[in-house]
Amino acid sequence: MLTKNVTIANEKGLHARPATTFIQTANNFRSSLWVEIGDRRANAKSLLGILSLGVSKGDEVTLIADGADEEEALNGLTEVILRMED
């Protein structure tokens, strides 16, 4: 299992449009993937789960990956977060 902390820079946070792109990327990987903020955790492959976290600009999230392609998954999801637009 690997983890990586990433800060959300998007003005509107992880709202519906970027969350959809994030989830589509997550679904390209075989590993189990989660997003954690504070004491809350959601499946990175679930739109409702991600939206329920209420991630805002400036929030630091922890990406968690467990599986055969966990390193590639964390790198891919980090890249999506860093490229997010409003």
Describe the crossing of helices 16-26 and 70-83 by its angle, rounded to 10 degrees.
160
| Contacts (Cβ under 8 Å, ≥6 apart) of 57 | 8, 9, 10, 11, 12, 13
Catalytic residues: 15
